[in-house]
Structure 1
Amino acid sequence: MNSRSNIFQGVVTSKDEVLRLDRAIVEILDIEISRNVAARLIREGRAKVDGEVVTKPSVMPKKGQTIVLEVPRPSVPEKGSLLEPRVLFEDEYFAILDKPAGLLMHPNTQYGTDPSVASWLESRQATSLPTGQGDERPGIVHRLDRGTSGVCLVAFEKDSFDNLLAQFAERKIRKEYRAVVYGKPRFVSNRIEKRLTSDAKHPGRVCVTDSTRIGTRDAVSDYEVLETFDNFAYLRVEPRTGRKHQIRVHLASEELPILGDPFYRVGKFHPALLPRHCLCPDRPLLHAYSISFQHPFTGEGMSYCVEEPDDMVEIRQFLSQSTSALEGGDSV
C-alpha cells in the first residue's frame, strides 16, 4: 500500500459471506467500481483479507473478516488530456461544458486529489469562483456523477451562479439524458414518481421509499424507449427533479438497471448476456445529452446538446447487430 493510492476497507457480514471477493468488494466497500475492475485489482495483489494478500477474485471471505482494497490514484492529467471538460459555450458569466466519464465534478475525500471540473475551473480562472454548498464546489451549479458523461453548467460570478441555482430550484431548467439499460421495458414511455432517501445499509447510496418522513425527498423521472434489443433497451430520460443518483435508482426500481452500474442493480447480471466480443462497460452507461435554460442576464433561451461518447455508441452497435442476427436467424 502506498501514498499514491486510496485505501478502502469493510467487514464481511453474515449476508455477505456467500459472495466471491470481487463481488464482496463492490457490495461492501463504499466505492464506485465495477466487478470487472475489482477482479483486476485483486489479481494485481491490491486486496487483503485479514491482512493477507489475496490474488484470486473467486475467494469467499468469511463473516467477520476485514477486506482492504488499494485503489491507485490516476495521475493528474496534463492540459489537453482526455480528462478535461470541453467548452461548448462561454461568456463572462458562465460556461456550458461537456464532461467526460471518469472526471469528478468536485474533489472529495474518497478520490483525494483526482482531477475535477472544479479544479480545472480554478486553474483557468483569475478571480475567485462563487460557491453554494461549501468551498470544495467552486462554480459548480449542478452535479453529474463521476461515471456520467455529458453536458453541465458552471458559473464564474455570484449573480449568475445564484440565478442558475434558482432556475434549477424552480424547475425551469430542462435536462435530457440517454441510458442503456438491462431489461425489457413494460411501457413505451412512463413516469416514475418514487420518493428517495439515504440507504442506511450502504453509505453514499440512496434508495426508494414509501415514507414521507423528514429526510425523504420527492423525485420524478420520465422515460421513453428509443430502441429495444434482446434483453436491453436504449432510453431517453428526463428528470423532473434533481436528486442524488435519481435516474440510476428510479430505473433500477423499475427493473431497468443501467448497464455498467456497480451499485443499483436488479438480481444478477452476467457479462455473458452481452453479445460476443462486447465488453461489459466499466461505468454506468448514462449520458447527459442536453440542457435548456435561460441566460442568467439576458433571459435568452439557450439549449445545448452533446452526442454520446464512443463507449455508448459501440455497445449500442453491438446490441443492435446481435438483435438483428437473432431476428434474422441463419438467413443470408
Structure 2
Amino acid sequence: MRRSLRSPLPQRHGLDAVRLRTPDDGPWTLMRDHLVERLPRVEPERIDAMLADAEIAGVDGPLRPDSPFVPGTFVWLHRDLPDEVPVPFPIGIVHRDDHLLVADKPHFLSTIPRGRHVVETALVRLRRDLDLPDLSPAHRLDRVTAGLLMFVVRREERGAYQTMFRDRRVAKTYEAIAPHDPTLILPRTVTSRIVKERGVIVAREVDGPPNAETLVELLEHRDGLGRYRLTPRTGRTHQLRLHMAGLDIPILGDRFYPDLHDTALDDWTRPLQLCARTLTFTDPVTGEDRAFTSALALQAWHDHAGWAAGAPTNSVDGPGTGR
C-alpha cells in the first residue's frame, strides 16, 4: 500500500491535522468503531458527526461512516480545540526571507501548541497570519520569556537549522532586570547541575558534575535595579532563572524561582523581565553570517512604577535589526 506522509486535510487555524496509524490487526469491523475506542475523550456522537462531514480522512480520501477498518494504515483528523484566552500582545517581525522568519515573541505566548495553549501560540499565529503553512520553529522559548524566536520557512530546510541549535552553533544572549547587589562581584560564570523531572513544573539544582553554565554581566544599574546580560553556554530548562536566583538576584517577575507562586493563565501583570536579546550564527543553508537583535523593551527598566503597579504592557523601544 502506498502511504502518504502528508495530510490530505488542509490546516485548520494554522494547525496540522493529527495523524494516527491503525493497528496491524484488531476486532473492529468499521474505522468508526476503532476511532471510538482509540479516542475515548471524544464522544462517539462527535466522531459520527466528523465522519458525516468528511472531517476524517484516510490515504485514499475522506472516510465514510461505513468505511471498513483497514489495518496498518493512516488516518488524519483535526481535534476539537480547547477554549483559550487570547494573548493580547502582537508578535513583532524582526526579519523575513525565503529561508528564515525571526520574530519578537511577546511575554505569555507559548512557542508551539501544548496542553492548554494551541491557537494562542507563536507558531500557529504566524502560520495563519502570514500564510506560511510549512513554518516550523528552529528552537523554543519559554512561554513567559520574550524576545527572539527563529522559524524555518521551508520544510526541507528544517533539519539544517534545528541541528545548528542542537549542536550549539548559535551564540545567544539574554537581557534580564533583577535587583542590584553592590557586593556581588560581576562578571562571573555560574555553573551548577540542573535536573528537570517529568511532570514537575520547576527545575532544581542538585549536587553532581555541572551540566549548566551561564556568564552573568552587569550592564548598568540604577534605583536598586540592575540590567544584566546573560550568556548561556548550555541550554538546560530554566537555567538562567535558576542561576540568577542562586545569586540572590532573582529576575523580576519570576513566579517560579526562588519560590513557586500559582498564577492565572490570563494574568498579564508583571511579566518575567527576561528577553532573548541577540542571535548570531553562520547560516547553514546560505553560508551568510547572521545577526539579529530584539526590539522589545523590558518594562521594569523603562517604567518600573508601571511594572510594579501591574500595568499589562508589552512595549517596544524601536525597530529590530538583522542582516
TM-score bracket for the superposition, by shorter chain length? 0.5 to 0.7
- In the TM superposition, residue 160 of structure 1 has moved relative to its aligned partner by 2.7
Q: Deviations over 1:182-212 (max 9, x none)?
A: 3516122011111210258x81211112235
Cross-structure match for 1:56: none
Cross-structure match for 1:186: 184
What secondary structure, in the 3-state scheme, does the structure 2 residue paired with 1:166 have? helix
Match of 2:254 among 261, 280, 285: 261
What secondary structure, in the 3-state scheme, does the structure 2 residue paired with 1:119 have? helix
Q: CA RMSD in A?
A: 3.0
Cross-structure match for 1:12: none
Match of 1:309 among 292, 297, 300: 297
Cross-structure match for 2:136: 139
CA distance 1:112–1:237, change in 2 (3 Å):
closer
**1:74 lines up with 2:85 in the alignment:** yes
Partners of 1:259 and 1:119 in 2: CA distance: 29
Q: Are the equivalent residues in 2 in contact too, given 1:84–1:103 (CA < 8 A)?
A: no
**When the two structures are superposed, what TM-score results if normalisation uses the length of structure 2?**
0.60
What secondary structure, in the 3-state scheme, does the structure 1 residue paired with 2:136 have? coil
What secondary structure, in the 3-state scheme, does the structure 1 residue paired with 2:255 have? coil
Deviates more, 1:282-291 or 1:84-93: 84-93
**1:97 lines up with 2:90 in the alignment:** no
State the AA in 2 paired with 1:115. Answer: E
State the AA in 2 paired with 1:226. Answer: L
Matches within 5 A, 1:22-61: none
- In the TM superposition, residue 139 of structure 1 has moved relative to its aligned partner by 0.7
**When the two structures are superposed, what TM-score results if normalisation uses the length of structure 1?**
0.58
Partners of 2:133 and 2:272 in 1: CA distance: 33
Matches within 5 A, 1:116-265: 116-124=121-129, 128-129=133-134, 139-182=136-179, 184=181, 186-198=184-196, 203-211=200-208, 218-229=211-222, 231-265=224-258
CA distance 1:235–1:127, change in 2 (3 Å):
closer
Deviates more, 1:203-212 or 1:298-307: 203-212
State the AA in 1 paired with 2:283. Answer: H
Partners of 2:304 and 2:132 in 1: CA distance: 43
What secondary structure, in the 3-state scheme, does the structure 1 residue paired with 2:137 have? coil
What is the identity percentage for the equivalent residue pairs of Structure 1 and Structure 2? Answer: 23
CA distance 1:300–1:86, change in 2 (3 Å):
same
What secondary structure, in the 3-state scheme, does the structure 2 residue paired with 1:263 have? coil
Q: Deviations over 1:34-82 (max 9, x none)?
A: xxxxxxxxxxxxxxxxxxxxxxxxxxxxxxxxxxxxxx9423x6xxxx5
Cross-structure match for 2:273: 285
Q: Are the equivalent residues in 1 in contact too, given 2:126–2:132 (CA < 8 A)?
A: no
Q: Are the equivalent residues in 1 in contact too, given 2:275–2:298 (CA < 8 A)?
A: no
Partners of 2:113 and 2:167 in 1: CA distance: 27
Q: Are the equivalent residues in 2 in contact too, given 1:259–1:281 (CA < 8 A)?
A: no
Partners of 1:264 and 1:188 in 2: CA distance: 21
